[in-house]
A and B are shown apart, each in its own frame.
Chain A
Amino acid sequence: MFTLTRNGKPIYLNLLQIRLPVPGFMSILHRVSGAMLTVAIPVALYVLELSLRGPEGYAQAHVLLDGWFAKLVLLGLLWALLHHLFAGIRYLLLDIDVGIDKPAYRHSAWVVLLAAPVLAVLLLGVLS
């Protein structure tokens, strides 16, 4: 089941069985999305460099971003960006005590969780 630490506190860290409250779920996705965006930095730099190399490179970058696989990756990254942005704004507001009370911080976590995927789909549709 779970083990005890030296001073008798239980450790229960089975990630498959922990049931996180909504703000906790939003928070772990803040980390997941941040790691995704970090991995995307060198890829984005590669595309930026390619697009600035000349008219041929610019066209190549367009082709590169146009495939269905690239679209899927872009959708994932757009979600990560928006989730990270919204969750970040929420944390900055919590830092200055805005929305820190009980129903509000749960509601704002739901807003972040739902707004990010919806806006990601809309933005990918408009941008491409």
Chain B
Amino acid sequence: MSRTATGFRAWMVQRATAIYLGLFFVYLIAHWLVAPPADYAAWHAWVGHPVMSTALLIFVLALLLHAWVGMRDILIDYVQPTGLRVGLLAVVGLGLVACALWATVVLLLARQ
């Protein structure tokens, strides 16, 4: 993809993930209001259900992608010294990748 197109791709990623995240958050809050988990067994069964844990995994990955595009915009706009900017981008990027792996492990373990 050309240099001029990367901004458009980030713009599209931000909006596509936003729609999934928005709908899912509304569902989560509504579910929590109507039927909060009664105890550990109910909570574990709900998170561990194959449909739910898959939807949650997609949610977490969309969230991390969305956070990356947003944090990248913020850091590029406000952090002027190149070294500091690259360093912070690396910290945020690696942190989000680590969160992706962590979330995958937690959600897959919850299926068992």
Residues of A at the B interface (CB closer than 8 Å) are 31, 34-35, 37-38, 41-42, 45, 48-49, 51-52, 54-55, 58-59, 81, 85, 88-89, 92, 95, 123, 126-127
List of B residues within 8 angstroms of A41 by Cβ: 63-64, 67, 96, 99
Min CB–CB distance A33 → chain B (angstroms): 10
The interface size of chain B toward A, counting residues with CB under 8 Å, comes to: 31
Contact call A52/B110, Cβ cutoff below 8 A:
yes
Alpha-carbon gap, A95 to B64, bound state (A):
23
List of B residues within 8 angstroms of A42 by Cβ: 95, 99, 102
B73-112, CB under 8 A of A: which get 1 and which 0? 1100000000000000000100110010011001001100
B15–A31 touching, CB < 8 Å:
no
Chain B residue numbers with a CB within 8 Å of A48 are 47, 103, 106
Specify which chain A residues have a CB less than 8 angstroms from the CB of B26 in the assembled complex.
85
Q: Is B19 part of the contact surface with A, judged by Cβ < 8 Å?
A: yes
Q: Are B70 and A38 in contact (CB under 8 A)?
A: yes
Min CB–CB distance A111 → chain B (angstroms): 16
Flag whether B8 is at the interface (Cβ < 8 A): no
Task: Give Cα A31 to B67, complex, Å.
Answer: 11
Q: Provide the bound-state CA to CA distance between A114 and B92, in Å.
A: 31
Q: How far is the CA of A59 from the CA of B67 in the complex (A)?
A: 30
Q: Can you sample 8 A-B contacts with CB below 8 Å?
A: A34-B74, A35-B74, A45-B99, A48-B103, A52-B43, A55-B40, A59-B40, A127-B36
In the bound complex, CA of A122 to CA of B110 (Å) = 31
Given contacts A45-B103, A51-B43, A54-B40, contact A127 B32 (CB under 8 A): yes
- Min CB distance A49 to B, Å, is 5
Check B67–A37 contact: CB distance below 8 A: yes
Partner of B67, one of A38, A51, A58, A126: A38
Bound: A49/B105 CA distance, A: 9
Question: Assuming the A-B contacts A41-B99, A52-B44, A127-B33, are A58 and B110 also in contact, with contact meaning beta carbons closer than 8 angstroms in the complex?
Answer: no
